[in-house]
């Protein structure tokens, strides 16, 4: 108890050593970016996140562009918060890509999603850019070859810059004993033609390194940037595949390795009241919205697959359940099927992760939700003194939360929170405390195998039954 001035009587002091309560953040929040050239600029300013809680809130977007159609597809499936970011429509596809990609430091384009929480809005957990992710750039920086390694370079000061007609390419040097032995392309960019120049700079005395850039087909630049934002927000980017052929979808997927990207292919058909005809529209808003509905009705640990898709008249490219859908799913393409004429249903639970531990979208999202909840809850202990009570509350609070998650079905048995054996006197004297946490999200059952057996002993059972009926006089 803190020292106090003289007092004759009783007083009550509230202890600062209190149990930890863990609160889950809302997971059914969509982040939607796109164009709406006729929008009310006051209600939907450019590059600023705006929260839509009811479909009526989207009225000011106007009919043109991509945002209104996407919101219509979302609200066909579920009513949930949508964080909308409106960008200016460019004169070319590449110019619009540049607007959507935006700038990290200015929090514009897709990076506007990162400021939603600080603006007092919900934090988007499923990101969408329908209409801008289905094609790959054929003019990005596919690779960089080191021609001369040079000497005197180090990781802290060496910079690699790619210049030319295009935009957005970023690269990083691999350095071994002062020489540049390789260059990794972090972002491929787009719009490069002719010759792209690689400029390598380093500390004083570093010199001699040269490299050449190769222009070719690369990942869609909007998808590449969505991956960056999704990692920062611990979100999933729902992107649209090319919707041309199965092979094209698989090639599209082959450029992506991320547990935070979920590919949707093909497009769906929706009736356009102005054209008075069915028109193809991106299916990513439907996949994301159906997952949001699953979050609300069952829990974020349920995958939004093998469920109906409302508001669609069909699919732009029919997918046959069986060999064709298996080919797409095996290559991590999530699709839409109609099994035995029972209506269209979403079919796929796959991220683009090469690591099989993170191949299921529900596993990735469950781990994100629990990790974020734990991280925020432990903030209450930041700057509090070491004490038996505080350390016990940290461990017991985490364990209680995981028990609750197991009861609800979000994780499997076998979870724990504990103080790591690697805690040392020196660490703790510097205010460092290390905890371990383990839990396992339930994987979806995607491969249910049934083995059927013949049982010829049934003939003996049949004869015995007939004999009993004859002896009892029941046969006739």
Mean pLDDT of 451-464: 96
Closest CA to 225 of 48, 377, 96, 46: 96
Tell me the per-residue pLDDT of 231-279, one tens digit each, with 9 for 90 and over: 999 999 999 999 999 999 999 999 999 999 999 999 999 999 888 999 9
pLDDT per residue as tens digits for the range 205-217: 999 999 999 998 8
Same domain for 261 and 341, yes or no, is yes
269 falls within a domain: yes
Q: The domain containing residue 203 runs over which residues?
A: 137-218
Both 229 and 97 in one domain: the answer is yes
The reported pLDDT for the residue numbered 56 is 92
**19 in a domain, yes or no?**
no
Distance of CA 305 to the CA centre of its chain: 15
How much is the pTM? 0.87
- Whole-number mean pLDDT of the chain? 93
Q: Is 398 inside any structural domain?
A: no
Residue 254 and residue 125 share a domain:
yes
Q: What is the CATH number of the domain that holds 242?
A: 3.40.50.11780
The mean pLDDT value for 311-326 works out to: 96
Which of 182, 203, 218 terminates a domain? The answer is 218
Q: What is the pLDDT of residue 4?
A: 64
Contact 221, 137 (CB under 8 A): yes
Last residue of a domain, one of 218, 247, 278: 218
The answer to whether residue 476 scores a pLDDT higher than 70 is no
- Give the pLDDT confidence score for residue 7 in this predicted structure: 74
Alpha-carbon distances of 443 from 126, 266, 297, 365, 412, rounded to whole Å: 19, 25, 18, 11, 10
Cα–Cα distance measured from residue 171 to residue 185, given in angstroms and rounded to the nearest whole number? 4
pLDDT digits (tens, 9 = 90+) for 331-365: 999 999 999 999 999 999 999 999 999 999 999 99
Q: What pLDDT was estimated at residue 138?
A: 81
- 464 burial via Cβ count (<10 Å: 0-12, 13-18, 19+): exposed
Question: Up-side HSE of residue 209: CA atoms within 13 Å toward CB?
Answer: 32
How many folded domains does the chain comprise?
2
> Is 403 part of a structural domain of the chain?
no
């Amino acid at each position: 108890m803190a020292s106090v001035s003289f007092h004759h009587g009783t007083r009550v002091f509230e202890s600062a050593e209190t149990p930890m309560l863990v609160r889950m953040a809302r997971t059914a929040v969509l982040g939607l970016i796109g164009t709406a050239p006729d929008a009310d600029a006051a209600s939907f300013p450019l590059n600023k996140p705006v929260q839509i809680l009811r479909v009526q809130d989207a009225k000011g977007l106007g009919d043109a562009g991509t945002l209104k159609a996407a919101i219509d597809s979302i609200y066909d499936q579920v009513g949930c918060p949508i964080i909308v970011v409106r960008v200016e429509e460019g004169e070319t596809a590449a110019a619009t890509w540049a607007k959507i990609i935006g700038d990290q430091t200015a929090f514009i384009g897709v990076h506007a999603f990162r400021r939603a929480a600080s603006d007092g809005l919900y934090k988007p957990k499923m990101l969408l850019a329908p209409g801008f992710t289905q094609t790959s750039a054929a003019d990005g920086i596919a690779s960089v070859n080191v021609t001369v390694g040079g000497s005197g370079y180090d990781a802290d000061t060496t910079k690699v810059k790619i210049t030319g007609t295009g935009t957005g390419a970023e690269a990083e040097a691999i350095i071994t004993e002062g020489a540049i032995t390789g260059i990794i392309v972090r972002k491929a960019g787009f719009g490069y033609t002719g010759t792209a120049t690689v400029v390598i700079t380093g500390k004083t005395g570093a010199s001699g390194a040269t490299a050449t850039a190769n222009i070719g087909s690369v990942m869609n630049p909007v998808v590449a940037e969505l991956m960056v934002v999704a990692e920062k927000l611990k979100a999933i980017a729902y992107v649209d595949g090319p919707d041309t052929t199965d092979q094209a979808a698989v090639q599209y997927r082959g450029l992506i390795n991320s547990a935070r990207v979920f590919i949707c292919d093909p497009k769906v058909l929706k009736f356009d009241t102005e054209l008075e005809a069915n028109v193809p529209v991106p299916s990513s808003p439907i996949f994301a919205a159906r997952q949001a509905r699953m979050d609300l009705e069952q829990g974020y640990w349920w995958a939004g697959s093998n469920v109906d898709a409302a508001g669609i008249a069909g699919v732009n490219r029919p997918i046959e359940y069986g060999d064709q859908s298996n080919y797409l799913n095996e290559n991590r393409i999530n699709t839409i099927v109609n099994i035995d004429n029972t209506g269209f249903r979403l079919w796929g639970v796959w991220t683009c992760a090469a690591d099989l531990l993170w191949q299921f979208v529900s596993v990735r999202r469950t781990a994100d939700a629990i990790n974020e909840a734990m991280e925020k809850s432990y903030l209450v202990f930041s700057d509090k003194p070491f004490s038996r009570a505080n350390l016990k509350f940290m461990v017991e609070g985490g364990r209680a939360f995981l028990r609750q998650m197991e009861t609800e079905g979000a994780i499997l048995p076998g979870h724990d929170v504990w103080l790591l054996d690697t805690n040392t006197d020196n660490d703790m004297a510097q205010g460092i405390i290390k905890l371990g946490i383990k839990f396992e999200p339930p994987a979806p059952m995607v491969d249910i195998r049934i083995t059927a057996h013949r049982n010829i002993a049934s003939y003996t059972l049949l004869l015995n039954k007939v004999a009993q009926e004859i002896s009892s006089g029941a046969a006739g």
